[in-house]
């Protein structure tokens, strides 16, 4: 596991562009295809009531105009990544993933 900035770099590499947004404000104009992500929780392991391992979980949303985009498959192939759901909004396809990183 790594830092959020390392995850950012991995996602930019998969996407092939800088259109990767961490917790974007509502005022930002996104370019598609893109990946939007935010921290959603933490997984903490304890020993003797003391945390010894803490992993951040991020929710990733791949947004693309193309319903047959290969990007969701590449994101889904990442270690510790689980596909959650798909939906369409404003003629854009959204694929949601959860990843521990």
Give tens-digit pLDDT for 38-55: 999 998 999 999 998 889
Give tens-digit pLDDT for 25-41: 999 999 999 999 999 99
User: What CATH number does domain 4-100 carry, 3.30.390, 3.30.70, 3.30.2000, 2.50.20?
Assistant: 3.30.2000
Tell me the average pLDDT of the chain: 96
Q: Is 51 helix (H, G, I), strand (E, B) or coil?
A: strand
Please name the residues in contact with 64: beta carbons below 8 A apart, sequence gap of 6 or more. 32, 33, 34, 71, 72, 92, 93
pLDDT of amino acid 1: 64
């Amino acid at each position: 596991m790594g830092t959020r900035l390392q995850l950012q770099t991995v996602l930019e590499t998969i996407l092939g562009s800088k259109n990767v947004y961490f917790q974007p404000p509502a005022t930002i104009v996104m370019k598609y295809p893109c990946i939007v992500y935010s921290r959603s929780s933490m997984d903490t392991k304890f020993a003797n009531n003391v945390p010894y391992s803490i992993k951040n979980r991020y929710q990733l949303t791949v947004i693309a105009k193309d319903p047959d985009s290969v990007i969701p498959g590449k994101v889904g192939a990442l270690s510790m990544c689980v596909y959650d759901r798909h939906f369409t909004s404003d003629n854009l396809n959204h694929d949601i993933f959860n990843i521990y990183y």
